[in-house]
Amino acid sequence: MSRRVVLEAGLVLLAVVDALIGLPYASTGALVSALVAAAVLPLRRRFPWPTALVVAVGLFYGYALVAAMVAVFTLAVATRARRRVGVVAAVVVLVGNLVALGLPSGVDAWVSAVLYGLLFAVAPWALGELVVTRRELSRRLAEIDERAAREALERERAVLAREMHDVVSHQVSLIAVQAGALQVTSSDEATRSAARTIRRLSVTTLEELRAMVQVLRAAGGSARDDAPQPGVQDLPALTEGCGLDVRSTVGVPVDLPAPVQRAVFRVVQEGLTNVRKHAPGAAVSVAVTHDGARTRVEVRNGPATGPVHALPSARHGLLGLRERAALLDGQVDADPTQDGGFRLVVTIPDP
CB-facing half-sphere around the CA of 228: CA atoms within 13 A: 8
What is the model's pLDDT at position 287?
Answer: 95
Mean pLDDT in residue range 306-324: 70
Phi, psi of 91 (to 5 degrees): -65, -45
Domain stops at, among 56, 73, 103? 103
Question: What residues form DSSP beta bridges with 290?
Answer: 295
What is the model's pLDDT at position 313?
Answer: 56
Q: Are 336 and 343 in contact (CB under 8 A)?
A: yes
- Helix (H) or strand (E) holding 283, with range, is strand 283-290
Domain count, the chain: 2
Q: Please provide the distance, in angstroms rounded to a whole number, between the alpha carbons at the two ends of the chain.
A: 37
**Domain for residue 140, yes or no?**
no
**Domain for residue 161, yes or no?**
no
Phi, psi of 94 (to 5 degrees): -60, -50
How far CA 165 is from CA of 216, 317, 332, in Å, comes to 11, 21, 31
What is the three-class DSSP state of 152? helix
**Domain for residue 59, yes or no?**
yes
Number of other CB atoms surrounding residue 25 within 10 Å: 5
**Domain for residue 209, yes or no?**
no
Question: What residues form DSSP beta bridges with 285?
Answer: 247, 300
Report which of 219, 297, 221 is spatially closest to residue 256, judged by C-alpha positions.
297
The residue that leads in pLDDT, 25 or 98, is 98
What is the model's pLDDT at position 226?
Answer: 47
What CATH number has the domain bearing residue 288? 3.30.565.10
Question: Which residues have C-beta within 8 Å of that of residue 114, sequence separation ≥ 6?
Answer: 94, 98
Domain stops at, among 48, 73, 103? 103
What is the model's pLDDT at position 223?
Answer: 44
**Domain for residue 184, yes or no?**
no
Mean pLDDT, the chain, whole residue set: 79
Q: Determine the Cα–Cα distance for residues 178 and 296; give it in Å rounded to an integer.
A: 38
Reply yes or no on whether the pLDDT at 170 is more than 70: no
Q: Determine the Cα–Cα distance for residues 286 and 300; give it in Å rounded to an integer.
A: 7
99-119 pLDDT per residue, tens: 655 555 666 666 766 677 677
What is the model's pLDDT at position 343?
Answer: 94
CB-facing half-sphere around the CA of 339: CA atoms within 13 A: 12
Domain stops at, among 75, 103, 131? 103
Q: Determine the Cα–Cα distance for residues 119 and 7; give it in Å rounded to an integer.
A: 23
**Domain for residue 178, yes or no?**
no
Give residue 330's domain range.
230-351
- Helix (H) or strand (E) holding 306, with range, is none
Mean pLDDT in residue range 119-147: 84
**Domain for residue 305, yes or no?**
yes
Share of the chain above pLDDT 70, in %: 79
What is the model's pLDDT at position 174?
Answer: 72
pLDDT band at 348 (very low <50, low <70, confident <90, very high): very high
Q: Determine the Cα–Cα distance for residues 72 and 78; give it in Å rounded to an integer.
A: 10
Q: Are 221 and 250 in contact (CB under 8 A)?
A: no
pLDDT band at 221 (very low <50, low <70, confident <90, very high): very low
pLDDT band at 329 (very low <50, low <70, confident <90, very high): very high
**Domain for residue 215, yes or no?**
no
pLDDT band at 330 (very low <50, low <70, confident <90, very high): very high
Q: Determine the Cα–Cα distance for residues 143 and 25; give it in Å rounded to an integer.
A: 56
